[in-house]
């Protein structure tokens, strides 16, 4: 039985044909590192009684496999068939082609980000979006930051630092992770004044709480949960009058903040940004990568004098956007100027407005083809329910269709889910009633799924 001597040296491997091929592909440093680890493991195995010749023969395959795994990024494109269109953990909105092209162009070349092409003087990066945002929301002015959490933070800090910020107890929400309204307020330096109760808040609750120390009233769109039954909230127009009479700022945090009426696309209504502005909020905050369908960003739109104060806050510099996202946002917002073709061009809206009948046809067509690729599992077309995601209308589902995959054994759905996650193009669905469901609402082409499964 062969021992340690059967193993090649590091140099022998690096100088071999296979070694040179691997170095071409992965670089010398990576190959040397992976090879050392493999040789250590082979020596340990031989010490434990393994045959040196067998270990030496296995070495090239194992090394190539190690390097292939290490070279594969975990940020590779995947298929989101979870049924949640705006999946925060999967990166939210898929961008429109125009936005992708604009972002790519911005990455590859200098552009007039803060440069006035007419005068050759200094420009402002937000200027590229201000006009569009004014036009699409009816607001006087706009400022743009890293995400909506940042939009809320900078607005609270600008108008509430060292002062009181009044919020209804029914709106002290947690968005998820570390974004809880009371915590954000504390970090913004605002003293939280809670008014009303969990289920009911009245105009006088706000009026009684206002003091000379009040900086702002915050209204939060409770997009991610719903209180039903014996409830009361103060409508935004009435709250705007209360704030105006008291001379304090009313900030309405919309969260998803659609720029179009979703009812026109067969969905349940969400308040639009233009409505929130028209209702009299001094400032409205919303996300770039939720219903708007763009890259991660946060907007504050509203009164010009207040936006100027936000722009004067040193935090703005820390929260500003880069040229790539500003370019993608500009291209995304431009699409809204042509509402007739918006659903065609903006993936988020295209997915959300896809009729169930259309998806069901796709499911019926795909079921036998997918079954042929997964012989251990039974595959049938099924009805299912999608949702918007990112905290929008969580209790409202959208009728959809997909594939239902089942197999032998209680752990079959988990096993199958793990297998699909391990594909070169990972596929994720959701498990329900002992089956893995692949919701096809967000599947653009049949081949996207078939090619992923073939790999």
Ligand X SMILES: *Cc1c(COP(=O)(O)O)cnc(C)c1O
Beta bridge partners of 115: 122
Applying CB under 6 A, the span of 11-19, 55-63, 96-104, 216-224 interacting with ligand X comes to: 216-224
With CA atoms as reference, report the closest residue to 281 among 102, 389, 424, 140: 140
- Residue nearest ligand X by beta-carbon distance: 255
How far apart CA 155 and CA 217 sit, in angstroms, is 11
Work out the widest C-alpha separation in the chain, in whole angstroms.
Answer: 93
Q: Which residues lie below 8 Å from residue 49, measured CB to CB, with a gap of 6+?
A: none
Query: Do residues 293 and 348 lie in contact, with contact meaning Cβ atoms separated by under 8 Å?
Result: yes
Under the criterion CB under 6 A, does residue 168 sit at the interface with ligand X? no
**Could you give phi then psi for residue 202, rounded to 5 degrees?**
-115, 160
Applying CB under 6 A, the span of 37-45, 217-225, 274-282, 378-386 interacting with ligand X comes to: 217-225
Applying CB under 6 A, the span of 33-41, 56-64, 249-257, 410-418 interacting with ligand X comes to: 249-257
Under the criterion CB under 6 A, does residue 253 sit at the interface with ligand X? yes
Applying CB under 6 A, the span of 134-142, 215-223, 262-270, 401-409 interacting with ligand X comes to: 215-223
List 83, 196, 255, 271, residue binding ligand X (CB under 6 A): 255
With CA atoms as reference, report the closest residue to 165 among 184, 190, 202, 201: 190
User: Least distance from C-beta 159 to ligand X, angstroms?
Assistant: 17
Residue closer to ligand X by CB (options 220, 300) is 220
Residue closer to ligand X by CB (options 167, 210) is 167
List 26, 128, 221, 323, residue binding ligand X (CB under 6 A): 221
**Could you give phi then psi for residue 150, rounded to 5 degrees?**
-70, -35
Residue closer to ligand X by CB (options 382, 392) is 392
Give the HSE-up count for residue 377: Cα atoms under 13 Å, Cβ half-sphere.
28
List 175, 234, 359, 384, residue binding ligand X (CB under 6 A): 175
Under the criterion CB under 6 A, does residue 346 sit at the interface with ligand X? no
List 83, 170, 391, 413, residue binding ligand X (CB under 6 A): 391
How many residues line the site for ligand X (CB under 6 A)?
16
Residue closer to ligand X by CB (options 177, 410) is 177
Alpha helices in 336-429 (DSSP H): 342-345, 347-352, 356-373, 412-421
Give percent helix, percent strand, percent coil of the chain, each to the nearest 5.
45, 20, 35
List 149, 319, 333, 412, residue binding ligand X (CB under 6 A): 149
Under the criterion CB under 6 A, does residue 223 sit at the interface with ligand X? yes
Query: Do residues 67 and 25 lie in contact, with contact meaning Cβ atoms separated by under 8 Å?
Result: yes
Decide: helix, strand or coil at residue 68: helix
With CA atoms as reference, report the closest residue to 125 among 133, 134, 113, 117: 113
With CA atoms as reference, report the closest residue to 356 among 260, 266, 254, 417: 266
Applying CB under 6 A, the span of 49-57, 226-234, 253-261, 357-365 interacting with ligand X comes to: 253-261
List 84, 137, 147, 214, residue binding ligand X (CB under 6 A): 147
List 287, 327, 387, 442, residue binding ligand X (CB under 6 A): 287
Under the criterion CB under 6 A, does residue 258 sit at the interface with ligand X? no
Applying CB under 6 A, the span of 20-28, 146-154, 266-274, 308-316 interacting with ligand X comes to: 146-154
Residues 290-309 that bind ligand X (CB under 6 A): 298
Applying CB under 6 A, the span of 219-227, 230-238, 274-282, 406-414 interacting with ligand X comes to: 219-227
Residues 41-100 that bind ligand X (CB under 6 A): none
Residue closer to ligand X by CB (options 52, 347) is 347
State whether the Cα torsion 341-275-84-300 is positive or negative: positive
Residue closer to ligand X by CB (options 287, 400) is 287
Residue closer to ligand X by CB (options 221, 325) is 221
Report the relative pairing of strands 164-168 and 191-195 from DSSP bridges.
Answer: parallel
Under the criterion CB under 6 A, does residue 220 sit at the interface with ligand X? yes
Residue closer to ligand X by CB (options 137, 147) is 147
Q: In whole angstroms, how far apart are CA 151 and each of 12, 137, 170, 192? A: 58, 16, 21, 18
83: left (phi over 0), alpha (psi -120 to 50) or beta: left
For ligand X, the binding residues (CB under 6 A) are 147-149, 152, 175, 179, 220-221, 223, 253, 255-256, 287, 298, 390-391
């Amino acid at each position: 039985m062969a021992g340690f001597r059967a193993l090649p040296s590091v140099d022998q491997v690096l100088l071999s044909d296979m070694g040179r091929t691997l170095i071409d592909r992965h670089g010398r440093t990576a190959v040397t590192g992976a090879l050392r680890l493999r040789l250590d493991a082979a020596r340990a195995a031989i010490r434990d009684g393994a045959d040196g010749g067998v270990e030496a023969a296995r070495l090239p395959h194992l090394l190539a496999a190690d390097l292939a795994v290490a070279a594969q990024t975990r940020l590779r494109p995947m298929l989101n068939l979870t049924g949640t269109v705006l999946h925060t953990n999967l990166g939210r909105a898929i961008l429109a082609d125009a936005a992708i092209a604009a972002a790519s162009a911005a990455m590859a070349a200098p552009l007039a980000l803060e440069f006035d092409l007419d005068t050759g003087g200094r420009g402002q990066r937000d200027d590229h979006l201000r006009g569009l945002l004014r036009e699409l929301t009816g607001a006087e002015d706009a400022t743009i930051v890293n995400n909506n959490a940042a939009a809320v933070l900078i607005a609270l800090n600008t108008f509430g630092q060292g002062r009181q910020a009044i919020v209804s107890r029914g709106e002290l929400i947690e968005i998820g992770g570390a974004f809880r309204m009371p915590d954000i307020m504390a970090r913004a330096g605002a003293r939280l004044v809670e008014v009303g109760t969990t289920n009911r808040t009245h105009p006088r609750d706000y009026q009684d709480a206002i003091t000379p120390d009040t900086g702002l009233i915050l209204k939060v769109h409770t997009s991610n949960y719903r209180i039903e039954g014996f409830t009361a909230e103060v409508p935004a127009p009435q709250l705007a009058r209360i704030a105006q009479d008291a001379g304090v700022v009313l900030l309405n945090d919309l969260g998803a903040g659609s720029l179009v009426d979703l009812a026109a696309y067969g969905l349940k209504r969400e308040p639009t940004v233009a409505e929130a502005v028209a209702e009299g909020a001094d400032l409205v905050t919303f996300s770039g990568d939720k219903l708007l369908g763009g890259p991660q960003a946060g907007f504050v739109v509203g009164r010009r004098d207040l936006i100027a104060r936000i722009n004067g806050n040193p935090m703005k510099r820390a929260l500003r956007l880069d040229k790539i996202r500003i370019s993608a946002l500009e291209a995304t917002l431009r699409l809204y100027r042509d509402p007739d073709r918006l659903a065609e061009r903006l993936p988020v809206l295209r997915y959300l407005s896809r009729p169930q009948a259309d998806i069901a046809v796709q499911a019926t067509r795909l079921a036998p083809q997918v079954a042929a690729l997964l012989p251990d599992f039974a595959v049938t077309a099924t009805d299912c329910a999608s949702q918007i995601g990112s905290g929008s209308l969580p209790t409202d589902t959208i009728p959809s269709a997909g594939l239902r995959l089942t197999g032998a054994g209680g752990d079959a759905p988990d096993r199958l889910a793990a297998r699909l996650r391990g594909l070169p193009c990972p596929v994720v669905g959701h498990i329900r009633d002992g089956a893995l469901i692949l919701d096809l609402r967000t599947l653009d082409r049949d081949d996207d799924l078939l090619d992923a499964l073939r790999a």
